[in-house]
Structure 1
Amino acid sequence: MGTETLLLIILSGIIALLVALFQYKYKAKYKGKWVLVFTFLRFLSVFAILLLLINPKFTQVSIYTEKPNLVVAVDNSNSIAYLKQDKNALSILNTLTEHPELKKEFDIDVFTFDDVIKTSDTNIFKSKASNIDKALRELSSIYKNKVAPVVLISDGNQTFGNDYSVSNKYTQPIHPIILGDTTTYTDLKIQQININKYAFLKNKFPIEAILVYQGNAPISTKFTINQGNSILYSKVVTFSKQENSTVISLTLPANSVGVKSFTAKLQALKSEKNTTNNSKNFAVEVIDQKTKIALVSDFSHPDLGALKKSIESNEQRAVEILNPIDFLNKKNDFQLVILYQPNNKFKEVYEVLNAENKNRFTIVGAKTQLSFVNNNSKVFNVAQTGQEEDFQAIFNLNFSPFLIEDINFEDFPPLKGPFGDISFTVPFQTLLGKSVLGISKNEPLLATLETNSRREAVLFGENIWQWRAQSFLNETSFNPFDDFIGKLTQYLASNQQKSRLTVDYESFYTGSNNIIIKAQTFDKNYQFDTRQSLELILENISSKEKSTTPFILKSNNYQVDLSGLDASKYSFTVRSKGENLSKSGSFEVLEYNIEEQFLNADVAKLKQLAANTSGKSYFVNNVDELISELVNNEHYKPIQKSNKNTVPLIDWKYLLVFLILTLSAEWFLRKYNGLI
């Protein structure tokens, strides 16, 4: 409280006293025994009113103790149970959470993690995936501005994600408790099988197997590839301490169409402790044709290479970059033609495409000759202003021709295209709309159309190569962008009639995780219909067991998660309860549990993680040392803090109550004495 405020309060007291004396001493006719009481009550009332007008501020200081957090992260993956460490993990967790000194010194938070992290202490150790790096990064984000040492209860075996032992993104000290046997055993393992997802009928497809040996003595064993009960390939392989790995390359024939499942096996040694990793299942889908696509351009541009790589990421498709003259010599070889920024050199190309009514994908950019395209396309027209504009994309959730997902198109770099109004002479669907500086132009950036049994797409912008690069920056993978281009290509390369129910699924899945089947339904105007109730009827072909699962609406599609299915072949039917819409298919789940491939705890990585984060690593029988370290570490002591809060007097409600009481008491006494 300042000096000026204090002087005002003193002055207020003087004024309040003078007012009270003036009314009850100087001017009052009543001279009875209550005059001093009336004077005192009036003084209090006037003084309280003046205090409210001055409204002085008071400082409140509250002192409290803040304990650091102790974060306990428990690995919930199947490798913990496979290494017979599940009981140890639960025992350690119970010891840490119930220890009286730890409870006194820390606020203990328990998390479990596998491929995701959860705020739960329920552990069943059945997950078939683990991502230690992701869990530690999320914990670092949650406790970014706090003192929160992390106790990591894990075997250190990670099935996917970035290498946690060398990451610099963890902000808290990490103390791993290492679960698992550190003894080195003799072991044979199929480290990896490399194979293309697709093969073509009557061709041979390549297989690459990476085999690894852990041991000291020279050994000899047999590597085989089986299909059912038939042995398709066999080879004797030898290993030693120095020559502890080998790569086997071979080819197998694709004699029939469909999904073909195989099993690679390494004959086990008598001394092996873990034989699960001696075999690995894999599959290939054999198809009877390959889609050939012509990418026609009169000049070089980075877009050409980006489109070729994206389309050819699917082994079913091949792209050939041609100039207009070369295309005319091979025009009958292609199922789809991409016209990149056409000009008058494309005149004969358009004549051929129009005469044969071929599907096409036209890309319009800054170098496109608009007068030529407007005269030859016959389906769209772009106003010729001679100006260019940068357009960002807006994803259309109601796009109906095929199932597509938003891959954050709005965050992608803008595409450069001609400035001017766009008109179509036939019905079209907008997949991506245009926006400039965040304002929608209500015009298509990417549109599809179907006319005279022909499918066509038009992209009104160049530099789509930047989208592929941005996709990699966002997801550390080209897959989202390549899948988008792949689905657009699949739609354009086919002339099948549009269906009101579309289903998106894979022919086979490795393991039982992330089996997601997606579907879209459309009304009779082919607008995405969110009112449908879809269900999936699934049948295990081997056991004949059936189950029915409802779809859940997510964004612009319906989804059902079938993760956890046993390895087998399945058939399914997706149907709508409200309308007579259904679609059937089949897929196969290959038996593979990556968590059962580990033989030991990864001690080296866990120790490296501890060293990099200023923590310490411990084994199962050293938990007491960890508790002592946590309790005695000066960096983890509770901190006494104060909270200073300035409160104005007008917020003090009791003063208002006091004012009401003094005025009421004065009025009541005056009334009682007949002065009112």
Structure 2
Amino acid sequence: MDRLTFSYPVWFVLFCFLLGLGYAMLLYYRDTSFKDQAPWTRWLMSGLRFFAASFLAFFLLSPLLRSKQTETRKPIVVLAQDVSESVANALGKNQEAYREKLEQLQRELGKEYDVKSFSFGSSVREGLETKYEDKISNLANLFSNTYDLYGGDNLGAIVLASDGIYNEGNNPLYLSEKSSVPVFSVALGDTTPKKDLVLKRVFHNKIVYLGDQFSVLADISAINCAGNTTSLSVYKVDGGKSQLLSSQPLGIDRKDFFATKEIILNADKAGVQRYRIVVNKVLGEASNANNSQDIFVDVLDARQKILLLSQSPHPDISAIRQSISANKNYQVEVANIRDFKGNVTAYDYVVLHQLPGKGVDVAAILATLDRERIPRLFITGSQSDYAQFNRVQNLVTVQTDGKNTNDVQGRFAGGFALFLLDDNLKTEFANYPPIQAPFGEFRVGGSAQVMMYQRVRKIDTQYPLFVFGEQNGARTGVLLAEGIWRWRLFNYLNVDNHELFDDWMSKVTQYLGVKEDKRKFRVSVSKNIYRENEQVFFDAELYNKSYELINEPDVRLIITSEKGKEYTYTFNKSGKAYSLNAGTLPVGNYKFLGKVSNGGEQLTYNGQFSVQPIQLEQYETTADHRLLRLLSEQYGGKMVSEAEMGSLPDMIKAMGTVKPVIYENATTRSLINIKWLFALLLVLIATEWFLRRYLGSY
């Protein structure tokens, strides 16, 4: 229904017509231009001018056209089907017959209501799916999505078809979203407890360190299996082959059995390791699928390899080795420079004790350390060649003959900020016995930071004792004294432990041992262990010779499964880097190889990750109709069996609360915006203009 309104009093319309009449009379009443024409022509043109002027004045009153529309909307009924694996087990061979019943229910509900169909499990999707393959059941997610989508609309009822088993998300009975919408449940599956042995949960560390032992806790339950004996076995799965690691017997002494068993495993190989925990089946079990679980443990080889290199035995070497070896993340090797046949590139950090020394050539080793940017610590002493020492590092210069020494103590510098030092350590070190530093002149380089100065006979000097800095892109330290073994012994003499000295040496090692990643090409995976329903994401970075981030060349990625199957991808260019979504992959261990060609240089990057199975749906074989009944009662609905689901439309209708809603919308628009009125005004003006021109006037 349309109604005309004005911004001004309605009687102003009279002025519009008077204005139009006056304008027409002024133009045509005494005009003699058309005296030779038929009288009707002047009346026609004056009428056209009257209506055109009146309409224009009328529009100046800002007339508004108000209209109202009414719309009747059917109430919304949400029909939600659980499509998890447990429902497939509940339906068995009757899946096709059940699907026909569900579609018939959808058609019957559609006659009276606006039916919104959803499938839910690990996620909520529109439509009724015919495959029951989701690895997770999340009932709470369904209700949250439903309230978000239709909570402000005419939501009449929710029809939920499920076995009542959920294994992710909150209990739907205690949702924060409360609604007066009735919930009708279709109970699927069998609630009769069957004879079943279940490995319910396995607790373990996701990350362990190489060489450590770690604990695995297994929760085992059994229903109706009293009097049976089984065993708990652990296998290591590698390349599709299983190796038995341990097995322990397990007796089931009651009808409703539950036990937690601990398994101790050794982390003897780096990388993501796959283990299979198995409870051997008993005769007559309802399902064997829930008797085993695969777990993935990321074994990190975080130990840094440290080389203590010297030209002769010294108690300082022993003190440093014992101190560093106390930390399980460090692997320490001691070698004599004359006997050392290894490659220093195999080490993360090198201690050069009194090297370079007199008559000892270390030029090749130092060149390798510089080329590979390997951190190092110089310790000087009576066997040091200070002329060579000044040439191979730029942190401190020592002018000395190397024959005379000073007994010095350490005094911590006030502005040192490369790493934190405990106040107790600073206080105690001031009382530690003297060590031997060279007698001479010292000059500290501009890029060096002094951690400790020399205190000579209780006199604080500005001579450096312990200096840190960076040389050729590698962190470097210089200890200008020998005899620190005395400090470690003095620490034990005072407090019966070496903790203070070891903590100091650990901080020094931790700082110097960090080797910056200067590789020009890197590929990173967002995490090492994925669930089988998760998508695998990669990022890549490429640097030019100036270490500027670029992404002009194409980057390829090859993922190889443990069975040898290859998946090849090309990265997407994102900003100045690269990104890739490899999608979901089958369960197993994978290796990846990134390749790129930049300026004729072939760059590669290797890594690995694993995809673990989701077995949650196999743990429960008994439907939970109690949950469905409580859910329906809480929200004012009813629970029906699969055979009774055809009666749901009548049940919903009988409630009398699920009714259509009439919506009334009022719209207001300016009359001047109506196109046909504009066209009419244009026709009036154009017709008058044409007649005036045609009859010889302007």
TM-score band, normalised by the shorter chain? 0.5 to 0.7
The answer for the alignment partner of 2:246 in structure 1 is 232
2:39 corresponds to: 33
Match of 1:273 in 2: 286
Residues 79 and 534 of structure 1: CA distance in aligned 2, closer, same or farther (over 3 Å): farther
Measure how far apart 1:550 and its partner are. Answer: 3.4
For structure 2, list consecutive stretches of 5 or more residues without a partner in the other structure.
237-241, 306-319, 331-374, 380-411, 420-445, 449-469, 478-508
> In the alignment, what sits opposite 2:110?
103
* Alpha-carbon separation, structure 2, partners of 1:107 and 1:455: 74
Q: Which residue of 2 aligns with 1:205?
A: 214
1:137 aligns with 2:151: no
Aligned match for 2:159, one of 130, 148, 151? 151
**Aligned pair 1:376/2:383, yes or no?**
no
Q: Does structure 1 retain, via aligned residues, the 8 Å contact 2:74–2:659?
A: yes
Offset of residue 212 of structure 1 = 1.0
Is 2:69 the partner of 1:62? yes
Contact 1:514 1:561 in 2 (8 A): no
Q: Could you give the per-residue CA deviations for residues 270-301 of structure 1, whole angstroms, max 9, x where no partner exists?
A: 33211111122224455566689xxxxxxxxx
Q: Deviations over 1:198-220 (max 9, x none)?
A: 44555532221111122385544
- Answer yes or no: is 1:516 the counterpart of 2:556: no
The 5-angstrom pairing of residues 90-489 of structure 1 reads: 90-99=99-108, 102-148=109-155, 149-169=157-177, 171=179, 173-200=182-209, 203-215=212-224, 219-227=228-236, 228-230=242-244, 232-241=246-255, 243-255=256-268, 257=270, 259-286=272-299, 333=326, 356=377, 375-377=415-417, 452-454=473-475
Counterpart Cα distance in 2 of 1:64 and 1:650: 27
- 1:384-427 Cα shifts (integer Å, max 9, x gaps): xxxxxxxxxxxxxxxxxxxxxxxxxxxxxxxxxxxxxxxx979x
| Residue 13 (structure 1) aligns with | 17
Q: Secondary structure at the match of 2:77?
A: strand
Which AA in structure 1 matches 2:416?
N
Counterpart of 2:675 (choices 633, 636, 653) is 653
Distance 1:6 1:15 in 2: 16
Q: Deviations over 1:79-118 (max 9, x none)?
A: 333433653663354224433xx33433333333333333
Seq. identity, %: 22
Structure showing greater radius of gyration is: 2
Which residue is equivalent to 1:669?
691
Runs of at least 5 residues in structure 1 that lack an aligned partner in the other structure: 293-326, 338-353, 359-371, 380-423, 427-448, 457-488
CA contact (8 A) 1:57 1:648 kept: yes
| Superimposed CA distance per residue, residues 141-164 of structure 1 (whole angstroms, 9 cap, x where no aligned partner) | 222311223333333333322223
8 Å contact from structure 1 (residues 575, 583) kept in 2: yes
Q: Deviation per CA, 1:623-661, whole angstroms, max 9, x where unpaired?
A: 222222344544332222221112222112222211221
1:534 to 552, 555, 566: 555
Cα 1:659/1:236, change in 2 over 3 Å: closer
Matched, 1:629 2:651: yes
Deviations 1:536-574 (A, max 9, x none): 3233333x3323233445686523335241x44433322
Measured in 1, the distance between the counterparts of 2:665 and 2:527 equals 62
SS of the residue aligned with 1:269? Answer: coil
Structure 1 residue 590: Cα displacement:
4.8
Distance 1:570 1:450, change over 3 A: farther
Question: Are the aligned partners of 1:507 and 1:588 in contact in 2 as well (CA < 8 Å)?
Answer: no
TM-score (norm 2): 0.63
CA distance in 2, matches of 1:201, 1:265: 24
- 8 Å contact from structure 1 (residues 502, 521) kept in 2: yes
2:566 alignment counterpart: 546
Secondary structure at the counterpart of residue 161 of structure 1: coil
SS of alignment partner, residue 574 of structure 1: strand
Tell me how large the CA RMSD over aligned residues is.
Answer: 4.1
Distance 2:622 2:170 in 1: 20
Q: 1:641 to 1:586 in 2, by over 3 A?
A: closer
Amino acid at match of 2:644: N
Counterpart amino acid of residue 238 in structure 1: I
Cα distance in 2 for residues equivalent to 1:25 and 1:506: 90
Task: Measure the CA separation in 1 of the matches of 2:115 and 2:413.
Answer: 68
Which residue identity is paired with 1:15? L
Q: Which portions of structure 1, spanning 4 or more consecutive aligned residues, are displaced by more than 6 angstroms?
A: 329-332, 489-493
Check whether the contact 1:513–1:563 (CA below 8 A) recurs between aligned residues.
yes
> 2:512, 2:138 → 1: CA distance?
38
**Kindly tell me: are residues 223 and 582 of structure 1, through their superposed partners in 2, closer, same or farther at Cα, counting changes over 3 Å?**
same
| Equivalent-residue separation in structure 1 for 2:150 and 2:413 (angstroms) | 58
Residues 130, 159 of structure 1: 8 Å contact kept: yes
Contact 2:205–2:297 at 8 Å: present in 1 too?
yes
Q: CA deviation at 1:255?
A: 4.9
| Letter matched to residue 78 of structure 2 | V
Alpha-carbon distance change, 455 to 120 in structure 1, aligned in 2, over 3 angstroms: farther
Contact 2:7 2:62 in 1 (8 A): no
SS in 2 for 1:83: helix
Partners of 1:536 and 1:549 within 8 A in 2: yes
Contact 1:501 1:519 in 2 (8 A): no
